[in-house]
Amino acid sequence: TVAAWPLLGDLAPSLRAEVPPLTITGAVYASNPSQRLLIVNNQVLTESATVAPGVTLEEIQPQQSIFSTRGQRFRLPH
């Protein structure tokens, strides 16, 4: 389940250090994934978008979103 993914703050320090600061200022959740949007660092993103070099937005959920870096998924609430 999605809750099984660790929070960004729970990743190993070496992996966490590779993730730039991510500020989520808005989210739109819809049952249709193509209508979901997340505003991160003033960028409007859809699922599978590159947030920063090496960081991908995997999935937008109602209360949190799933990101990945170097194959490790993690979540951030919003």
Q: Each residue of 21-74: pLDDT tens digit?
A: 999 999 999 999 999 999 999 999 999 999 999 999 999 999 999 999 999 999
Q: How far is CA 14 from CA 8, 11, 19, 28, 59, in A?
A: 12, 8, 10, 31, 23
Residues 6+ apart with CB under 8 A from 50: 56, 57
State which amino acid sits at residue 28.
V
Q: Each residue of 50-64: pLDDT tens digit?
A: 999 999 999 999 999
